[in-house]
Structure formats: C-alpha cells, structure tokens
Structure 1
Amino acid sequence: MQRILIVSDTHKRLGNLYEALEKEGSVDAMIHLGDLEGDEDIVNEMIPGPVYMVPGNNDYYSQAPRELEIQIAGKNVLLTHGHYYYVSLDLQTIRQEGIARGMDIVMFGHTHRPVIQVEDEITLINPGSISYPRQQDGKCTYIIMEISDSGEFTFELKSV
C-alpha cells in the first residue's frame, strides 16, 4: 500500500500542513499544487520521500515547472495549480485538457474548494486549501490518496 498526501494553497501558513503530517503518520510522497509563496524549500524537507510541487498564481518567483506530468502506479497524472484552465469557473477546460493529454488523473488547486470527481475517462482531484478554505463548511482540507498493492486508487478528503 502506498499513501500520498495531496495539499494546495498553503499561502505561507504551514501549521496545518505540519498537523496533517503528524495526524497521518508516514506518507510515501507529498504533492503540493501551488501557492506556497516562497516555502518550497521548507515543504521539500517535510517528508523523507519525494515531494512534487507546481507553482500557483501567487508563486511569482518560483523556478518550478508550471506543470508536471508524472506516473504513479502506472497512471498518468497531471499536476497543475489550475488557474490556466479557468477552474474557478468550471472544470470543463481542465477535464478536456487532461483527456487530450492522455491523463488518468488531473490534480489542481487554486479554488480553495475540494473536489474528488471520479469518472470513467478521467479523475479530477482538488484537495481544497489546507490554510484558507472557501467551501461552505469552512474546513481546512487535504486528500490522502492510497494505492493498494493490486493498483486500486482511493481518495479520501480529510480536514485538520
């Protein structure tokens, strides 16, 4: 079993991220979907495993690539902050982009609202914001993605 912590939009407030890591125990990798605002080095050192990061619309000086295409357990995964795909309006543009690029999963942030949308063609994942939530319940959220030994993916929305 592999466990991956997915977060976004920390905006220089890392307290909840530390709390989530403590709550979850060991994770095999972490994905941060942007708006770190200069905390890349700190976040990169938080776990011993790999950390994948993309810059958000507030990461003006980031040298990180705008998007990453990675493979996780045989699945093609696109990591992007989402603002280039108008995710604040709707998810159609990012969904179509992911399908056109042959992605199985697209992960994004930006809206500060969580999404777990599993479809036949593609899965769309947004962990919401672990620092500044905008959804109705006002909870700071993240997602734990688990990959079973048989290659089955599950996504669980959690809050701190």
Structure 2
Amino acid sequence: MTAAYRVLIISDSHGRTDRIDEVIAQLQERMGGYDLLLHAGDHAEDVLDGAYPNSVTVCGNCDPYGIEAEEKTLDLLGVSALLLHGHTVNVKTSPLQLLYKAAEHGVQFTVFGHTHTPVLYVEDGCVFLNPGSLSYPRGYTVCTYAVLELSAREDGVHGQFCFYTLDGTRIPAFDMEHVFSVR
C-alpha cells in the first residue's frame, strides 16, 4: 500500500485567510500537512497569492469574473474529479443540475461550495462533497472543512473522507470510505 495522498478541501472563505492558516496549522500538526488544497470558490484570491502551495481554486459568485475558471477537472491518483462553486448549476435550489454536470464530465468525485452547508453523498457512482464554509456556516452551526485521504490499492483508489470544525474537532457523522475504480 502506498502512502496516502491528502487533499484539504475548503470553500467560501470570504477573505478569512486567518482561518485558512489555522486549518493548515492544525493539519500540519495532526497529519503532517496536505498534498493538494482545493478551494471551491468565493474569494478564490484567498489562495491565489502563492501563500498556499499546491492549491487549485475556481471562481465563485463573489469572485471577480475571470479570476479563475468556473469549473476545473482534475485527476487525483486516477480518480476523475470536478471542482466548481455551484452557483452556475443552482445548487441552492436542487442538486439535479450538479448531477447532470458531473455526468456530463464523467467524473467520480465532485467538489462544490456556494451553499455554505457541509454535505457528502454518493449518487450514480459519483461522490459529491461540499466542505461547508470557513466564514459563514449555514445549516450547520460551526465553520467546517473536509480532508480526503486517497491511497492506491490493488482493488482501486481508497478514499477516506473526514470533516472537521474550525477548531479541529472531527465530525464523525460525516466520515465515509469509498473505493474509486481506476480507469
């Protein structure tokens, strides 16, 4: 078994880089840091200045138009992924357009933000994750973020999903394991 590839997933930071710093310090202390940081928009510039290495972000509805793409596809150890904010597919109204967008791209994992509400579910073989917000939580009483640990194994890429509060407390109700087939 190979070492885990750790992905820190945040969204909707709205200028609170102090909170990004806090999360990264916790992750460094607890797990030795991250390999990739995904920011699902709304103040994408919070991670664009080079202060956070290995960062990928997208443009949200509160970002200057064109600062980044509105959606990006990624390869995470052979797992096809889609990163978007969610405003362009009306995630506050229904998950249906998000499901269509994921199917259109043929991805196995979709990260989105916009609702400020942490969610994690599997639909039609695709894992959907919203890490919540580092600034203004909705639907959950505290700020949240997610960590995905991927490890390549003989039967596919194993993913361990965990959510945390801003103070570093793990939220066990959101824990999930998923095996992605490698294409």
Per the alignment, residue 13 of structure 1 pairs with: 16
1:38: how far off? Answer: 3.9
Question: In structure 2, do the counterparts of structure 1 residues 41 and 97 end up closer, same or farther at CA, with 3 Å as the change threshold?
Answer: closer
Per the alignment, residue 30 of structure 1 pairs with: 37
1:77: how far off? Answer: 0.5
Per the alignment, residue 41 of structure 1 pairs with: 48
Specify the code of the residue in structure 2 equivalent to 1:15.
Answer: D
Per the alignment, residue 76 of structure 2 pairs with: 72
Question: Whose RCO is larger (CA < 8 A, sep 6+)?
Answer: 1
Per the alignment, residue 58 of structure 1 pairs with: 62
Calculate the TM-score normalised by the size of structure 2: 0.80
What is the percentage of aligned positions where both structures have the same residue? 33
Calculate the TM-score normalised by the size of structure 1: 0.91
Native 8 Å contact 1:106 1:122 kept in 2 = yes
Native 8 Å contact 1:99 1:121 kept in 2 = no
Alignment of 1:99-138 (within 5 A): 99-136=103-140, 138=141
Moved over 2 A (4+): 37-42
Question: In structure 2, do the counterparts of structure 1 residues 61 and 93 end up closer, same or farther at CA, with 3 Å as the change threshold?
Answer: closer
Q: Which has the larger radius of gyration?
A: 2
Moved more, 31-40 or 143-152: 31-40
Where 1:15 maps in the other structure, the secondary structure is helix
Aligned residues between the structures: 156
Per the alignment, residue 89 of structure 1 pairs with: 93
- Quick one: distance in 2 between partners of 1:61 and 1:84? 13
- Quick one: distance in 2 between partners of 1:141 and 1:89? 21
Native 8 Å contact 1:38 1:62 kept in 2 = no
Where 2:7 maps in the other structure, the secondary structure is strand
